[in-house]
Amino acid sequence: MATALGAMTHTQEDTGLWSWLTTVDHKRIGAVYTVAGFLFFLLGGFEAVMVRTQLAVPNGTVLDADRYNQFFTMHALTMIFLGVMPMGAGFFNYFIPLHVGARDVAFPRLNALSLWIFLSGGILLNSSFFLGGAPNGGWFGYAPLSSIEYAKSSGMTFYVVGLLVLGLSSLMASLNFAVTIINMRAPGMSMMRLPVFIWMVLVVAFLLILSLPVLTVGLLQLYFDRVWGTSFFSPSTGGDPILWQHIFWIFGHPEVYVLILPSMGIVSEVLPVMSKKPLFGYSAIVFAGAAIGVLGFGVWAHHMFTTGLGPVPQVVFSASTMAIGVPTGIKIFNWLGTMYGGNIRFVTATYFSVGFIALFTIGGISGVMHASPPVDGHHQDSYFVVAHIHYVLFGGAIMGIFSGFYYWFPKMSGRLLDEALGKLNFWTMFVGMNLTFFPMHFLGLAGMPRRIYTYDAGMGWDTWNMVATIGSYILAIGVLVFVVNVIKTMRKEPDAGNDPWGGATLEWAIPSPPPAHNFDVVPEVRDRDPLWYNRDHGIAPTPVPEHNHIHMPPPSYFPLIVALGVLLIAVGALSTLAIVGLGAVVSVYGIWGWALEPTD
Amino acid sequence: MGGSRPGSMIAIIGSLALVGVVSFLLWMGFADSGDFAGHPMTTWVPKSDNASLVHGVYQLIFILAGAVFVGIMALTLIFSLLYRERPGGEARQFHGNSRLEVVWTLIPVLIVVAMAVPTFSTMSVTSKPAPDNALKVVAIGHQWWWEFQYPELGITTANELYLPVNRPVSVALQSSDVIHSFWVPQLSGKIDNVPGHENHLWFTPTEARAEPYLGQCAEFCGLSHANMRFRVFVASTGDFEAWAKSAAGDRTAPTADLAKAGEQQFVASGCVACHTVKGQAGAAGKIGPDLSHFAARTTLASGTLDRTPANIRKWLSNPQAVKPGVLMPNLNLSPEALDKLVAYLDGLK
Amino acid sequence: MAAATHEPPPHVTEHHTTTGIDNRKMMMWIFLASECLFFGALISTYLIFQGESLVGPLPHEILNIPVTSASTFVLLMSSLTMVLAVYGAQHGRLGMMKLMLLATILLGLVFLGFQAYEFTSFVHEGLGLTTNQFGSSFYVLTGFHGTHVAVGVLYLTSMLLASQRRTGLGADRALHIDLAGLYWHFVDIVWIVIFTIIYLIPH
């Protein structure tokens, strides 16, 4: 992967380790995010394969109960916070400035800080495996199972501290992205000319900005419960375990849209370009995305239908959840409308995008099914829900991200990924994914609860569990094909050119990979599909002036120092207060140096 | 639709055929998994009044979901084939169509309304309080076993619930530690046992049968969440009353020598600190399951083992090996002590 | 702009944003929106646990409204001095700016002193962090508010120190003080809400 990292920015003079540690270039930061996210994705995949291996046969003995609980908990945390979100953040970093026509994000050093804090959080969370056991209470950490009384190992404290650190990183990144999108657009790039991908990122940024603080409060309260003996969530001393569920899902449901909206954006970029026609219903797709974001804050309690909410909240949250199916449906129809009448070039990126439509639709359908509380009485905490979330998050989010890999890798590295391997990659993942996750619908219908480390023969669950496990191996092979493809591609000479796909958005007018300053001349945008407009109207690119001195912000090591301070504070929160103090001093030093550092 | 494209009829018919075959196979899979034969925890064969009401909604939603599935899959496949790149092919340039946008906003709206109406009308029945004549049961979730109390009948039992057919039962759900969830798919949807909150559900079982209705904890509750199973027996009114009479009374006192020795061992090994055996002096512990009528149950260790002497022995010799994390310690019992305890416990009818 | 032959460096272009609002100012506003949800969640927790304490001391037995009214007045006054500091920064009256920054810092410190006094006396009267639900939700809510005030004091102190340098706060002086002011007023407004909910509304 190191070669991939290098190649994604190969035009830059300085490629030493120090230049990476002090970089403030959004493209380098995006590349590190993408590669780190992909490595964590492999780790989460390994955990998933172990979980599937344990469940392949009744009374499996591959993992013991505790290890199983750690693996399924860490699988979810890794995939959500360390895999899908950072791979998304990688694309955001790389392409927001390119798409809106800017030289960098609004706050380049803050961007570097987000990256280093994310990496600190990811390593911290995973270090728990070697320091007394990983979190084992589920990614949702339901009280009172997450309390010190019932989770005595330090795993759930790692969960609290790790998520606080990762949340800080996401919050800073989201603030940066939101300001960049609103405030750094090239001349003529009105909001309704923004690429749909950028619109979805903007919605995601606001979802995180408004939901992370709520999770932060819940995590702090859980930390106080576990470490300092308060009882926010412990019922024996007046606390309320249901309060934790509300807090968690007020964050947790918007988080689902944080994971899926970027992929919806990617598909909305890939399909028009490959169909060689404009996106069908741009405004409808944008408004549907925004509507999903707004409604996403009003549906959280559908995760709690079985907790005894009472009929009135059940009806309200059931209705709002069903309502969110409407904008989702609008999006699917508009993507189909984009394909309709096209002359669709079926490259691997197209395969993944079309695969996204099919598979995400299945996840969407099952999601609307358990919007009905009586039906949810059967689905909740059964394998039906496991099938549902994986059709949304694998069939949706991951398929979209892979479409993005194939679509943008040439821009990031100057090289086109191999199409033959790409199609093999798609078909193994597509077949593997359906073999793994579709049978889980059957298992749910047959009453198999989720999060069980073992089951008896004679329940009628054997066959489909075995099929799902075999499917997960095929899926893993599919992901490895992608790794092979990347390695193979990195060994060849750059062959992509500026614009291998006939793209419509600004990034395709500049070299691949782009120079550090992105645009020799800040482009002027005249249409929603600026490059197609220029092509159709015979508008030549603005000539580059002779003395084109472009000043980019210099590298800085202060983000690294602040991140180190934050990591020390987190380590201290897990061990002893003295380290917290040390971390605070380091952070304050870093911020002070940051503030006084000249930026020109 | 795309009539100018060559081979369009073949593409459309081929797509529809493929989607049809796939949908049929998936339907076969669902039908098989929903069948009670071979799938004792099926969610598709209701055996209570409320479960049947819910099943009506479930079927309707399933059919709607299937229709959407077929429609979108067919369109995706047809468009992929029909509009794939061809030499000399031209993409038609258009940005959208307002009339179509309205139509396909209305389609999901109508589907959702078709779901919402029966959903809410069903909830108006199932969320009513239980009828007055309902049998009252308290189901308490523990890490990792179920305690069932019949407050009106003075019965406390564990992991096996007896119910009379055709009489409403009102279940009060409690927890002694973490959140659990009470789920017997054929009788009712799940409701959580939340510590500090009492939840309720009710249903009227409609079929007495010899085989048990299987249930299992559905909310992740820690190490042995997978081993927190239970059984519900629905019996005729006469059979239920006979069972209740016996269950409310004291244990059957041991007669054989070995079993009598087991009674002593039960005290000597400290079992009485956690377990109640009605009729045995000093055996009034409340931490573990009530064992007064242990031998009237079909399973032990929260439904994970059939109650056979060999299994009782297996459990007593190392509970952790059967149910990781269980509160019951390994008492390091000698083979002789095991003989005695097995004889005693297996006689507690 | 597209045809400009000499692109000004990014730190200067930041002043020419799409909306005309400086990036830093926009980020501060969005960040404060996030902070609203942070305090909203803490305040909700406090309200949810009202009347849920299993043992005393209960709020009406222990809250000292006159003392906290005094500290609230101090914090309100600090908003006034903050406004004057911003005015000084914007109108080039640096002496006034520095004096008012100092006043704001001192008033903030007095508020923190009141809070320290309040916490200590509550502990003496038997209300600890873990005593009951009131104690937990009270200390965590007001404690995190106090932390915000402390961060604000550090923020303003760094502004004051930086303004003592030869170059002062540079060309962006007014913006820097304005941003600090936005944060400070937000923390002040949150306290008004907390004070009203905890101390003034009888239960």
Each residue's pLDDT expressed in tens, for chain A with a length of 600 residues? 445 555 554 445 567 888 899 999 999 999 999 999 999 999 999 999 999 999 999 999 999 999 999 999 999 999 999 999 999 999 999 999 999 999 999 999 999 999 999 999 999 999 999 999 999 999 999 999 999 999 999 999 999 999 999 999 999 999 999 999 999 999 999 999 999 999 999 999 999 999 999 999 999 999 999 999 999 999 988 899 999 999 999 999 999 999 999 999 999 999 999 999 999 999 999 999 999 999 999 999 999 999 999 999 999 999 999 999 999 999 999 999 999 999 999 999 999 999 999 999 999 999 999 999 999 999 999 999 999 999 999 999 999 999 999 999 999 999 999 999 999 999 999 999 999 999 999 999 999 999 999 999 999 999 999 999 999 999 999 999 999 999 999 999 999 999 999 999 999 999 999 999 999 889 999 999 999 999 999 998 888 877 777 888 889 999 999 999 999 999 999 999 999 999 999 999 999 999 888 776
CB contact under 8 A, A343 and B224: no
Which of C5, C53, C130 is closest, CB to CB, to A547? C5
Helix (H, G, I), strand (E, B) or coil at A471: helix
Q: Do A300 and A366 touch, CB atoms closer than 8 A? A: no
- Residue C2: is its pLDDT beyond 60? no
For B:260-299, CB contacts with A below 8 A are none
* Cα dist from B142 to A245, A364, B173, B178, B342, whole Å: 20, 36, 11, 8, 24
Q: Which fold has domain C10-200?
A: Four Helix Bundle (Hemerythrin (Met), subunit A) (1.20.120)
Q: Do B146 and B159 touch, CB atoms closer than 8 A? A: yes
Q: How confident is the model at residue B7 (pLDDT cuts 50, 70, 90)?
A: confident
Q: Are residues B67 and B122 in the same domain?
A: yes
Domain, as residue range, for B184 = 136-218
**What burial class does residue C170 get, using C-beta atoms within 10 Å of its C-beta: 0-12 exposed, 13-18 middle, 19+ buried?**
exposed
List of chain C residues whose C-beta atoms are within 8 Å of the C-beta of residue A545: 5-6
Q: Are residues B337 and B276 in the same domain?
A: yes
Q: Do A367 and B109 touch, CB atoms closer than 8 A? A: no
pLDDT tens track for B111-126:
999 999 999 999 999 9
Residue B193 lies inside a defined structural domain of this protein: yes
Residue of C nearest to A210 (CA): C34
Active site residue A283: no
d(CA B40, CA B45) in angstroms, rounded, equals: 10
pLDDT at B22: 96
Q: Are residues B160 and B57 in the same domain?
A: no
Closest-CA distance, B11 to chain A, in angstroms, reads: 14
C59: preceding bond cis by omega (within 30 degrees) = no
d(CA C179, CA C23) in angstroms, rounded, equals: 11
pLDDT at C51: 86
Give the contacts of A566 (CB within 8 A, at least 6 positions apart). Answer: A117, A120, A165, A168, A583, A587
Between A and C, how many CB-CB pairs are < 8 A?
131
d(CA A194, CA A196) in angstroms, rounded, equals: 6
ipTM field: 0.96
- Closest by Cα among A131, A36, A45, A67 to A570: A131
Give the contacts of C192 (CB within 8 A, at least 6 positions apart). Answer: C72, C76
Active site residue A154: no
Active site residue A104: yes
Residue of A nearest to C20 (CA): A183
Residue B161 lies inside a defined structural domain of this protein: yes
Residue of C nearest to A592 (CA): C158
* Cα dist from A374 to A125, B134, B186, whole Å: 37, 21, 13
- Residue B2: is its pLDDT beyond 90? no
List of chain A residues whose C-beta atoms are within 8 Å of the C-beta of residue B189: 306, 374, 376-378, 380
pLDDT at C169: 83
CATH class given for the domain over A2-539? mainly alpha
Active site residue A547: no
Helix (H, G, I), strand (E, B) or coil at A420: helix
Q: Do A71 and A50 touch, CB atoms closer than 8 A? A: yes
pLDDT at C76: 96
- Residue B107: is its pLDDT beyond 90? yes
- Closest by Cα among A387, A394, A395, A397 to A450: A387
Give the contacts of A369 (CB within 8 A, at least 6 positions apart). Answer: A375, A379, B61, B62, B65
Q: Are residues B178 and B274 in the same domain?
A: no
Closest-CA distance, B104 to chain A, in angstroms, reads: 6
d(CA C143, CA C137) in angstroms, rounded, equals: 10
For B:128-157, CB contacts with A below 8 A are 143
Any idea which of A107-121, B21-35, C154-168 has the lowest mean pLDDT?
C154-168
Active site residue A255: yes
pLDDT at C4: 40
Active site residue A328: yes
Q: How confident is the model at residue C170 (pLDDT cuts 50, 70, 90)?
A: confident
pLDDT tens track for C173-185:
899 999 999 999 9
User: Which one is catalytic: A153, A169, A353, A489?
Assistant: A169
Residue B249 lies inside a defined structural domain of this protein: no
pLDDT at A38: 98
CATH number of domain containing B175: 2.60.40.420
Q: Do C160 and C101 touch, CB atoms closer than 8 A? A: yes
Residue B230 lies inside a defined structural domain of this protein: no
Q: Are residues B118 and B152 in the same domain?
A: no
CB contact under 8 A, A280 and B94: yes
Give the contacts of A262 (CB within 8 A, at least 6 positions apart). Answer: A88, A91, A92, A197, A200, A201, A204, A397, A400, A401
Residue type, A287: F
Residue to mutate among B70, B73, B85, with most A CBs inside 10 A, is B85
Q: Are residues B122 and B146 in the same domain?
A: no
Active site residue A318: no
Q: Do A99 and A184 touch, CB atoms closer than 8 A? A: no
Active site residue A257: yes
Q: Are residues B44 and B119 in the same domain?
A: yes
Residue of B nearest to A69 (CA): B223
Residue of A nearest to B92 (CA): A341
Q: Are residues B14 and B100 in the same domain?
A: yes
Residue B44 lies inside a defined structural domain of this protein: yes
Q: Are residues B62 and B170 in the same domain?
A: no
Q: Do A83 and A41 touch, CB atoms closer than 8 A? A: yes
pLDDT at B1: 44
Q: Do A112 and A560 touch, CB atoms closer than 8 A? A: yes
Q: Do A326 and B106 touch, CB atoms closer than 8 A? A: no
Q: Are residues B197 and B276 in the same domain?
A: no
d(CA A118, CA B112) in angstroms, rounded, equals: 40
Say how many domains are in chain B: 3
Q: Assign 3-class secondary structure to C158-194.
A: HHHHHHCCCCCCCCCHHHHHHHHHHHHHHHHHHHHHH
pLDDT tens track for B286-303:
999 999 999 999 999 999
